[in-house]
Structure 1
Amino acid sequence: MSITYYGYPNCGTCKKAKAWLDAEGVSYHDVHIVETPPSKEQLRKMVEISELPLKKFYNTSGMKYRELGLKDKISTMTDDEQFELLASDGMLIKRPLVTNGLKATVGFKESNFTENWKS
């Protein structure tokens, strides 16, 4: 199954993740997360298969997250509202986001990538 990599070109963590994927010879479809963020349905599926809580998908260190005061708002939002919000702005999503439809990872940790994406 093909791998989709959602990243942002200016993101240092994304650069490390791409370098790792390239060095390991992992082929992937590169998607600019801001220009083409995953849909609400895609995000819902990725949260489900990642087995991570929805809050792990937020880019909590991002300016947009802070500007919108999401730290205090998330706890009062429904999951549906959160998926809608994340799908509306790729800058709110923690990156890189990598999936093959059967599993998904958020952020970059070499051990996690080795476990999930190494052939």
Structure 2
Amino acid sequence: MSKVQILSYAGCGTCKKALKWLGDHGVDVAVRPIVDEPPTADELARWIPASGLSVRRWLNTSGQSYRALGKARVDAASDEEITRWLTEDGKLVKRPVLVKGDKVLVGFREGDYAALFG
């Protein structure tokens, strides 16, 4: 099986669950620390459409970075502005982000991982 990339945050419980699932299923993973290396604009231009989610669904709405921006500011922001924020602050990105070829999963749902690697 080819190596997949996962953008992860060491302090994130959901990321830990995803990494455990991947390890338990023998998936070779390259871990990229999302806070130190947030997604680039070029990556997001490919990954957002590949995920099937709107850019707003990429926001980690339970994190401090989101709360610092405030819901009203996010609601008023353009998709381009949100994309720029995601490139500037890895903690603003919903995680983990798993990239396997042209497939991108945001967050961890066991069924989605099983479907991708099954």
Please show how residues 3-22 of structure 1 align to structure 2 within 5 Å. 3-22=4-23
Structure 1: 5+ residue stretches without partners: none
Q: Secondary structure at the match of 1:4?
A: strand
| Structure 1 residue 45 displacement after superposition | 1.2
Q: CA contact under 8 A between 1:46 and 1:101: conserved in structure 2?
A: no
- How far does the alpha carbon of each residue in 1:42-75 deviate from its partner, in whole angstroms, 9 at most, with x for none? 1121110111111110000001100111x21223
Residues of 1 paired with 2:78 and 2:42: CA distance? Answer: 15
TM-score (norm 1): 0.92
Aligned length: 117
Equivalent residue, structure 2, for 1:84: 84
Residues of 2 paired with 1:57 and 1:78: CA distance? Answer: 14
Residues of 1 paired with 2:101 and 2:88: CA distance? Answer: 21
Equivalent residue, structure 2, for 1:23: 24
The 3 A distance-change label for structure 1 pair 90 and 23 is same
Structure 2: 5+ residue stretches without partners: none
Equivalent residue, structure 2, for 1:35: 36
Residues of 2 paired with 1:2 and 1:74: CA distance? Answer: 35
Residues of 2 paired with 1:2 and 1:22: CA distance? Answer: 12
Equivalent residue, structure 2, for 1:61: 62
Question: RMSD of the alignment, in Å?
Answer: 1.3
Residues of 2 paired with 1:100 and 1:8: CA distance? Answer: 18
Residues of 1 paired with 2:95 and 2:28: CA distance? Answer: 18
Equivalent residue, structure 2, for 1:97: 97
| Structure 1 residue 77 displacement after superposition | 1.9
TM-score (norm 2): 0.93
| Structure 1 residue 101 displacement after superposition | 3.5
Amino acid paired to 1:110: E
